[in-house]
Chains A and B, each alone.
Chain A
């Protein structure tokens, strides 16, 4: 079953803790993206990676970190420095000569 998978679907975090969201794709796509979705604010770009071992900050990178050690994986860490981390996070990938972005099903993070 080809696609892009995010886990977990729901995640709860205590204040002050770091948490890592998983994103895996088996589409052989070069590019991967992390977006944050808040009501009325659309999809805001956190980080993106165009190739393994390289990534760039998006518009709201503060308080987040990523790695791209493998083509298939692009995990996002929400650090304690992120002041308002409660949100819906979407991962996407793009490649194969197409310009269509394929999205995961999302992770809803709640800070408790």
Chain B
């Protein structure tokens, strides 16, 4: 069945450094790849997403890249700040707002001041 693998499980960086989280997916039919951020004690919230017809998307300090051939996508956070500390989840689905959404295992990012 569909599977999304996410690495690393934990990531610690110094404030101001960059952070990269990587995901691979198994279902070649997947064409929508969102990233969610879950702060401690809060619900996950969408921070950025990318569709399969695009190779890269940026939103201020965060960016996502997609390699359809290799079936992997990555989240890049530049100039990290302590408030970036959270659990980040990647996900994959077939583009439909009623479709099955499969999440990766999550990455706990710690940004040290």
A contact residues, range: 20 to 34
Please determine whether A48 and B100 come into contact, CB atoms closer than 8 angstroms: yes
**Contacts A30-B97, A100-B34 known; A40 to B105 CB distance under 8 Å?**
yes
User: Which of B13-21, B38-46, B70-78 contacts its partner?
Assistant: B38-46
Q: Choose, from A14-22, A74-82, A102-110, the stretch at the interface.
A: A102-110
For chain B, the count of residues having a C-beta within 8 Å of the partner chain is 25
Q: Which residues of B contact A98 (CB under 8 A)?
A: 97
Produce 1/0 per residue, A66-107, CB < 8 A to B. Answer: 000000000000000000000000101011111111011110
Residue in B closest to A43 when the chains form the complex, CB atoms: B103
- The residue that B102 contacts in the complex, of A41, A45, A97, with Cβ under 8 A, is A45
B contact set with A: CB distance below 8 Å: 1, 6, 9, 32, 34, 36, 42-46, 49, 89, 93, 95, 97-106
